[in-house]
Amino acid sequence: MSAPSKPAKAVARTPVGVWTEWPVGARWANEGMTRLLGFMIEGVAKGKTYVFHIVLPDGVRAEAREDLAALQAVEGVDYVLHSPPPEMKLAADDFEGQARFANASVKVDGWIVLFPYFRHALLLDAPVATIFPDGIPVAFPVPDPGAWGPNGYHLRWRQQVQALLDGSDRVVTFSNHVADDQAGRLFGVPRDKIHVVPHAPPNLSHLAPYAKKGTTAASRSIAADLLRSHARERGWSQLADFPFEEVDYVAVSTQDRVTKNIRLVAEAVRGLVRDERRSLKLFMTAPLHFGATWTPLPNQLEYDQMAGDVVSMTDLPRDVHAAFYHCAAVTVHPSIFEGGLGPFPFYEAVSVETPCLMADGPHLRELVVDEPGLAAFVFDPNDSRKLRDLILSTLENRDTVLAVQKACLDRIATYGWSQVAAAYSEAAISGGVAQ
């Protein structure tokens, strides 16, 4: 169905639009920005001041609805989904038509644009605040002629982002290092137009109630059952009976992109398995693209014959994703760069009782200023041996490491998602206060 879900009339909240341009074939769930949107919707639900009106193509509506239904929020109260109706007869990628629909049918006081290349947001009537997570394609260019040729995909990306940032009323970043070094230096956005809104720490504990008393044999068994059940649903026969609760594994929850550096974790695990003779596996949410040249990971796994040691588990539903973290011996986030203060996997893993190790980068340095105790769990993103040693010491002192990280998380969590959602909404409708 394409009709919008009906918001409750009893609650008078300020309407804020969320603009998306999902291309045909693109997935909704398990992407960083859709997870961010989910956390913000939960913040809206707690704050009870705003309601998000999310405009999206009809082709992704069902997937989005299913994903957002897992949130601690109510459709029609905290968020409303809108798609152009069939009678408009729009092509799946007719975002000009989608903008006409939004202007005519979705009355909001301002728009949050979820990605900085959703350029048709400039056709919207209400003020526009564009989220700029980072400028990775420009800051970390790939050596691919298809990216930077006359019609290269990264060249088009840069042009579209530049046009949207120039035309937006405001630009929102997650951190000062992105505001200064990328939005400002690379794209020329004036500092007084940028609003820095740090993430609150994501918390998955409500998705893993079995973990309330910490990691126990019973809690790991429940999480493992969830993982096995999902494996059977997906036809992953090699995992349908896998003893997740009995086998130590390193969890990596990220996509395989130029900055994510998953290769380093695979190197560390190879050393632990073959040199240290440790019984250990690497489970990751990134897909494996064998034959790809833009990522070194598949070729590395093939060359090292590690297909049995490294397993891909993609597109996990939110509750299964929480179980994925909880059952792990340790989580590792090897990315050399993130747009926010600290990586989501740190907050998520610790919230369900699993420690996390993190690669050094500007996102960590900005976080460690306020939480210096986390420095002990940060590794050089080029040093697989250091990571190997850090994994070993964490496995041997897991409870101590987790206690330190939980104390850090408790302090960080005084800043919540209701505050984040309010800051985004104010940036969209009135400009807020530039930081």
β 194-196/249-252 pair status: unpaired
At position 87, the amino acid (one-letter code) is E
Cβ-contact 423, 432 below 8 angstroms: yes
pTM: 0.81
What pLDDT is stored for residue 134 in this prediction?
A: 92
Cβ-contact 317, 70 below 8 angstroms: yes
Alpha helices in 191-284 (DSSP H): 217-234, 262-274
Q: Rounded to whole angstroms, how far apart are CA atoms 36 and 134?
A: 14
Give the C-alpha distances (Å, rounded to integers) separating 4 from 10, 54, 63, 76.
Answer: 18, 10, 15, 9
Lay out the sheet containing 310-312: strands in order across: 310-312, 281-284, 249-252, 330-333, 356-359, 378-379
Q: Which residue has the tokens 């109260």?
A: 77
Residues 6+ apart with CB under 8 A from 62: none
Neighbours of 389 (CB within 10 A): 16
Question: pLDDT 10s per residue in the chain (435 long)?
Answer: 455 665 545 558 999 999 999 887 787 876 778 889 999 999 999 999 999 999 999 989 999 999 999 899 999 999 999 999 999 999 888 999 999 999 999 999 999 999 999 999 999 999 999 999 999 888 888 777 788 888 888 899 999 999 999 999 999 999 999 999 999 999 999 999 999 999 999 999 999 999 999 999 999 999 999 999 999 999 999 999 999 999 999 999 998 888 899 999 999 999 999 998 999 999 999 988 887 777 888 888 888 888 889 999 999 999 999 999 999 999 999 999 888 888 899 999 999 999 999 999 988 988 898 899 999 999 999 999 999 999 999 999 999 999 999 999 999 988 899 999 999 999 999 754 444
For 117-136, give the DSSP string. T-GGGGG-SS-EEEE----H
What pLDDT is stored for residue 4 in this prediction?
A: 60
DSSP state of 243: -
Residues 6+ apart with CB under 8 A from 399: none
Q: Rounded to whole angstroms, how far apart are CA atoms 81 and 6?
A: 9
Can you give the C-alpha Rg of the chain in angstroms?
22
What pLDDT is stored for residue 431 in this prediction?
A: 52
Q: Which of 429, 413, 405, 431 is nearest to 46 (CA)?
A: 413
At position 231, the amino acid (one-letter code) is A
What pLDDT is stored for residue 290 in this prediction?
A: 83
Taken in order 266, 272, 277, 278, the sign of the CA dihedral is negative
Q: Rounded to whole angstroms, how far apart are CA atoms 362 and 239?
A: 37
